[in-house]
Amino acid sequence: SYQVVTAHNGCLQLEVTLHGLASHAAYPETGVDALQAATQLLTTLYAHNELLKTRLSKVPGITHPYLNVGRIEGGSNTNVVPGKVVLKLDRRMIPEESPAEVEAE
């Protein structure tokens, strides 16, 4: 929106690519499921939000940082073990955080 505000979270957008090995679903042992790896990463990323909620900003109107997974792309067909998954992340920062430190985290 175009509303006037006194403060807003900063934003760092990231892309994470997980590489596996595509294979036919009838022979899953010949591949490496990138989506299965992505689910483990997603669980970890969302759990990290609990820590981020404890980092409170002193700036009125801003509460805490947040990590959002806004897009997931992967797989080629229902009968294929996914060989690649891409996650698009939106990490909202508070003014007290350094963009370089957030990216390193």
Convert the pLDDT of each residue in 57-105 to its tens digit.
Answer: 999 889 999 999 999 999 999 999 999 999 999 999 999 999 999 999 8
pTM, to two decimals: 0.87
Q: Is 34 exposed, middle or buried (0-12, 13-18, 19+ CB in 10 A)?
A: buried
Rounded to the nearest 10 degrees, how much is the dihedral formed by the CA atoms of 29, 79, 46, 91?
Answer: 110
- Which position has the token pair 């990290």? 48
